[in-house]
Amino acid sequence: MYVVCVHVHVKPEHRDAFLNASLENARKTTQEPGNLRFDVLEQADDPNRFLLYEVYQDEAGMNAHKETEHYAVWRDTVADWMAEPRQGIKYASHFPLSEGEWATRR
């Protein structure tokens, strides 16, 4: 599995619009064949900070996501709403196992 954690600090006046745009992007992303999970998380002690937790089957799935129209719309729509540039950190997952690995171990 391929995991991306995107840390976002949003300007307070754009918080609600950012959340709505991100939820729409997440809904569409979960329909992509390479996506396994997309969580939109709000930081508990700061309602203007978010974590987008994205899980893909592999790096190709994440790359395919970045080529979708809904991602481009989200990226361009929210760009000016951020208090600082978003930070995406990529991870390789060791647990839980990917769906394919689970299937071969059952």
Overall pTM surpassing 0.75 (yes/no)? yes
Strands (E), the chain: 2-9, 35-42, 49-56, 87-92
Q: Between vectors from CA 42 to CA 38 and to CA 44, what angle results, nearest 5°?
A: 140
Domains and CATH numbers, the chain: 2-96 (3.30.70.100)
Residue 99 pLDDT > 90: no
What's the pLDDT tens digit per position in 10-64? 999 999 999 999 999 999 999 999 999 999 999 999 999 999 999 999 999 999 9
Report pLDDT for 16. Answer: 98
